[in-house]
């Protein structure tokens, strides 16, 4: 188990009175016939800051977020505020979101701080900044920040969140926050955000080709998509990408792809966090789960007969920002869930999470995405955190006193 950065007061998770030694504390310190796939669409390697970003460009073009532009010079030119705004709006449309409140008047120069504001307000990630970014992380990330950049308050929190999640580079690598951003940089940051959402990138196995229909397997189920001559084809050799006009496949290859309205837009064939938190390298330090409203409704009705699920609304958070009280809105009734039961009813790894929503054309919720940290109940000793302290040479007594506050360690026999 891991606490995701901070443990919680026992009375907020388990029934019973507060206990002086179980207080919230930060966790700081696998042979088949051969098929030939062809494409007329390709992008020459486009390098930015030493990295090839052509795969990211093709992905955004495939999703209709970026324009169909393959000239390397285009991506080395400065992006405008209006371009960042339009590309972000196109990205939001992928999730049924429309947000007109992200317009800044007058339009400011496009730099990291401005882009952070566009992303935070566009994707409505204010809750992430408030609940998933610890104060100590913020201070750690911004410790070398110079006030001369003339940006204060929440804007710094926005900037720190994107550094903490790895979407933006470390501020140590950024000499001038006022430096204009190139279109290629906009591609990188926006693609990192889109990659964090489930459902846009599909993972599976190539099964075969029947004329213009490509056969794929995704999560044990077979599916067919139309393969057009304009689909992007990529080879991935240990993370090195190259575009191809044709690819020979035997079947069984691991692939990633982007599809839109039954058509394969991009096929990638895979050939044979900036933080001071102790559990930062653990697999479940942060996680994301996307479920349909119907899935959640079925799960919740096993505990509470709410009817049709309308929404999930966190009512109260504990000292660690865990959801300790949740309101479930249904067509037949409402239910208030508290403590550890929140995790059980929702079927999540932890109660340290925020909720993103996707909507249909009528404005009804279609999917919930839970973005969270940690795995477990979050009370007492964090196993991964304790291990991290031990690796750092900390004595076991100090580790115990870290997670069980105010205790006295003594022999009883």
| pLDDT in the model for residue 274 | 62
Of the candidates 47, 66, 158, the one whose C-alpha atom is nearest the C-alpha of residue 112 is 158
Of the candidates 63, 32, 37, the residue with the CA atom closest to the CA atom of residue 269: 37
Residues 150-171 have pLDDT tens digits of 444 557 889 999 999 999 998 8
The span from the CA of 75 to the CA of 70, in Å, is: 8
Q: How many domains does the chain have?
A: 1
Confirm if 232 and 263 have CB atoms less than 8 A apart. no
The pLDDT tens digits for 167-201 are 999 887 776 788 999 999 999 999 999 999 988 99
Average pLDDT over residues 129-150: 80
* Structural domain contains residue 358: yes
The predicted pLDDT at position 32 comes to 43
pLDDT at 153: 52
Give the mean model confidence (pLDDT) for residues 379-397: 86
* Structural domain contains residue 391: no
Asked, for residue 409, whether it belongs to a domain, the answer is no
Is residue 368 in a domain? yes
Nearest to 64 by CA among 40, 92, 45, 41: 92
Does the residue 340 lie in any domain?
A: yes
Predicted local confidence at residue 148, as pLDDT:
47
Q: Which residues of 385-400 are buried (b: 16+ CB within 10 A; e: fewer)?
A: bbebbeeeeeeeeebe
Percentage of the residues of the chain whose pLDDT score is greater than 90 = 68
Could you give the percent of the chain with pLDDT greater than 70?
Answer: 95
Confidence class for position 31, pLDDT limits 50, 70, 90: very low
* Of the ranges 2-16, 250-264, 274-288, 376-390, the best mean pLDDT one: 2-16
N-term to C-term CA, the chain = 31
**217 lies in a domain?**
no
Band (273; pLDDT cuts 50, 70, 90):
low
Question: What pLDDT shows up at residue 397?
Answer: 94
pLDDT at 265: 95
CA–CA distance, 58 with 54 (Å, rounded to integer): 6
pLDDT band at residue 30 under the 50/70/90 scheme = very low
Q: Which of 32-46, 227-241, 311-325 has the highest mean pLDDT?
A: 311-325
Please check the confidence at residue 39 and state whether its pLDDT lies above 50.
Answer: yes
Residue 332 in domain: yes
Residue 172 lies in a domain: no
* Domain that residue 329 falls in: 287-372
The answer to whether 154 and 129 are in contact (CB under 8 A) is: yes
pLDDT > 60? residue 146 = no
Report whether pLDDT(62) > 80. Answer: yes
Instruction: Give counts: helices (H), strands (E), the chain.
Output: 13, 16
pLDDT band at residue 281 using 50, 70 and 90 as cut-offs: low
Distance of alpha carbon 178 from alpha carbon 190, whole angstroms: 19
Rounded to the nearest integer, the mean pLDDT of the chain is 90
Please check whether residue 113 is in contact with residue 80, taking contact to mean a CB–CB distance below 8 angstroms: no
Q: Following DSSP, what letter does each residue of 28-74 receive, concatenated?
A: -------EEEE-S------EETTEE-HHHHHHHHHTTSS-S---HHH
């Amino acid at each position: 188990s891991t606490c995701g950065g901070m443990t919680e007061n026992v009375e907020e998770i388990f029934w019973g009175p507060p206990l002086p030694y179980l207080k919230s504390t930060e966790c700081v310190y696998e042979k088949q016939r051969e098929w030939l796939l062809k494409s007329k669409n390709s992008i020459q390697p486009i390098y930015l800051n030493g990295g090839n970003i052509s795969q990211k460009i093709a992905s955004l073009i495939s999703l209709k977020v970026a324009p169909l532009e393959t000239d390397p010079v285009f991506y080395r030119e400065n992006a405008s505020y209006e371009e960042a705004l339009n590309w972000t709006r196109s990205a939001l449309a992928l999730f049924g979101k429309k947000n007109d409140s992200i317009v800044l008047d007058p339009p400011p120069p496009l730099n990291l701080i401005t882009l952070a504001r566009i992303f935070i307000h566009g994707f409505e990630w204010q809750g992430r900044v408030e609940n998933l970014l610890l104060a100590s992380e913020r201070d750690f990330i911004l410790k070398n920040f110079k006030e001369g950049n003339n940006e204060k308050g929440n804007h710094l929190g926005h900037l720190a969140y994107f550094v903490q999640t790895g979407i933006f580079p470390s501020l140590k690598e950024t000499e001038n926050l006022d430096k204009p951003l190139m279109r290629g940089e906009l591609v990188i940051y926006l693609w990192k955000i889109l990659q964090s959402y489930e459902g846009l990138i599909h993972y599976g196995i190539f099964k075969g080709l029947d004329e213009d229909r490509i056969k794929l397997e995704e999560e044990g189920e077979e599916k067919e998509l139309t393969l057009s001559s304009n689909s992007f084809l990529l080879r991935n050799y240990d993370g090195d990408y190259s575009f191809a006009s044709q690819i020979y496949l035997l079947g069984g290859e691991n692939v990633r792809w982007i599809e839109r309205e039954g058509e394969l837009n991009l096929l990638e064939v895979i050939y044979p966090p900036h933080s001071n938190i102790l559990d930062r390298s653990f697999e479940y330090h942060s996680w994301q789960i996307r479920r349909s409203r119907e899935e959640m409704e079925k799960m919740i009705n096993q505990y509470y007969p709410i009817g049709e699920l309308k929404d999930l609304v966190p009512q109260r958070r504990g000292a660690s920002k865990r959801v300790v009280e949740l309101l479930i809105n249904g067509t037949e009734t409402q239910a208030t869930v508290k403590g550890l039961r929140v995790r059980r009813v929702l079927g999540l790894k932890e109660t340290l999470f925020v909720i993103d929503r996707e909507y249909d054309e009528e404005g009804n919720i279609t999917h919930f995405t839970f973005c969270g940290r940690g795995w477990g109940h979050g009370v007492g000793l964090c196993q991964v955190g304790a291990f991290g302290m031990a690796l750092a040479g900390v004595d076991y007594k100090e580790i115990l006193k870290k997670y069980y506050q105010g205790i006295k360690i003594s022999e009883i026999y």
